A and B are shown apart, each in its own frame.
Chain A
Amino acid sequence: MTHILSFTLNGAPVQALVKTSDSLLDVLREKLDVTSPKRGCDSGDCGACTVMLEGKAVRACLTCALTVEGKQVVTVEGLSHNGKLQPLQEAFVSHGGSQCGFCTSGMLVSATALLAKNPHPQRHEIAQEMSGNLCRCGCYEEITQAILDTARKGD
């Protein structure tokens, strides 16, 4: 069965024709052409599809599309404003928090949600909070440094 789904994506209202069984990831990637959330495992293991739903980091692949009706969804495209990167994104660049880039949009969204919840995370808190995002290139140290750096400069 198909439904018309309306929600706010990166600040702008969007609509899509979706099936009941569609995940938010299906809708973002295939209906709305927003491909920054990656389809890594499609089972919630890897975190590459992480998006923010009402300010909380969620797995787009595990989120039923119809549950976001009328809600705010933010992908990595929504983090920068008018092409200007956020301090966290700048820190990812300067610390080298990305190699192949497949995990990067999920990492940025998870880290943004982490800093919104806890502006001054300790190292072990970052590890715990970010552990659902896998990086096969092994940028964990660089990403941790980028988050710590952003938190320090946020003062």
Chain B
Amino acid sequence: MKKTGVGMCLVLHPTGRKGGGDPSQAIIQLKPDGSLLLKVGAVDHGQGALTILRQVAAEAMDVDISTVYASNRSDDLAPLSAGSAASRVTLVDPHAVVAAANDLKAKIAAFAAHRLEIDAENVELAEGKAFAKDNPHHHMTFAEIGMIANLGQGVILVGTGAWQPAPVQGHDPETGYLDQESVISFGCCVAEVSVDTGTGEVDVTKVVQVWEVGKAINPLLVKQQINGGLQIGLGFALRENLFPHYPDPAHGIESLADYAVPTFMDYPPELIHGIEEVPHPMGVKGAKGFSEGSATAPGPAIISAIHDAVGVWIHEVPATPEVVLRALEAKERDGATDYWSHQERSAWLA
């Protein structure tokens, strides 16, 4: 018999690594063709860190994003960053990029003022050009500036920027305020499951996830992170068994292929995502990080949905068909509404 149930999980996900200082640096260099080379320390392993930082640099410099190249190839060569962790990149690193852009803009303005024979205060930069405020036709493009500076005059135009959040204050016992946790993204996952009481198999039939991210600098990347987080959470809840004989470590997994990563077949036929925006004062444009949080919500939502469907709290993951069947058996036998399989297993071993 198939029983359906619905479960929900709410997540408060602190972003940034403020307790540890969380420094960030960026370098932007004007190339001879007028394009920009952005050097950052954040690593992009597919979540889009470089895309976000290129977007921020392009907007701060007022150029097209296609002319901004980003590099983070190696820690040995990259500016300092606390790294792609703690959902911090979108919150912290853009500050350094904006500072580097402002530094470079001042240098370009000074260089252009000299070439255009006007005061530096009279130079304005927009749309990849430097021009006189009182006479916009009197201008140079970034390509011209880059060519003359790099190849004609042997000058390097490079902006540097660094940023770090204010030192953290200790925990305030009166209000409960804790500085390290002051930037929080809020998420919600609602999962609908169908539990086969004959086989113990759990099908996730519908998932709705909504995240409040401050400001979605790139909504497509936010969507990918929300929907992609489900894969981690779903695997965690139902499939990926690191130690199948826990507490006995025997037959622990040895490679990614050994534990069953969710496939297309495991994704729910209905998957809905939502993005809420409440700009945060600490973020550039109000943006916060959130991505890791999206992996945490689906697991508890699915386990709650199983409880809603069959009336048993499964206190371990993954809730594989074996675990669910044993939980249903225990409920039938003892009326138990809570289930820990390793306790049962430990009892057999004793």
| Residues on A facing B (Cβ under 8 Å) | 41, 43, 45-46, 96, 99-101, 123-124, 126-128, 130-144
Contact = CB atoms under 8 A, between A and B. Distances in A.
Nearest to A41: B257
27 contacts: A41-B255, A43-B257, A46-B257, A96-B221, A96-B223, A96-B224, A99-B224, A99-B228, A100-B45, A127-B267, A131-B264, A131-B265, A132-B263, A135-B231, A136-B256, A136-B261, A138-B224, A138-B227, A138-B231, A140-B227, A140-B231, A140-B262, A140-B264, A140-B267, A141-B227, A141-B271, A143-B264
B264 A99 contact: no
B230 A137 contact: no
A141 B257 contact: no
Contacts of A128: 264-265
A100 B267 contact: no
Contacts of A46: 257
Interface string B24-49: 00000000000000000000011110
Contacts of B257: 41, 43, 45-46
A137 B228 contact: yes
B306 interface: no
A100 to B, nearest CB: 3
Contacts of B250: none
Contact of B46 (A43, A101, A123, A124): A101
A141 B267 contact: yes
A140 B261 CA distance: 12
Given A46-B257, A140-B231, A143-B264, 4 more contacts: A43-B257, A130-B264, A137-B228, A137-B231
Interface secondary structure of A, over-half rule: loop
B220 interface: yes
Nearest to A132: B263
Given A136-B261, A142-B227, A96 B256 contact: no
B269 to A, nearest CB: 6
Nearest to B207: A141
B229 interface: yes
Given A43-B257, A96-B220, A96-B221, A137 B46 contact: yes
A28 B255 CA distance: 25
- Which of A100, A126, A131, A141 counts the most chain B CB atoms within 10 A? A141
B232 to A, nearest CB: 7
A127 B267 CA distance: 8
A99 B232 CA distance: 14
A77 B198 CA distance: 47
Contacts of A130: 264
A140 B264 CA distance: 6
A130 B266 CA distance: 12
Nearest to B231: A138
Interface string B308-329: 0000000000000000000000
A144 B271 CA distance: 11
Interface in B260-286: 261-265, 267, 269, 271
Nearest to A101: B46
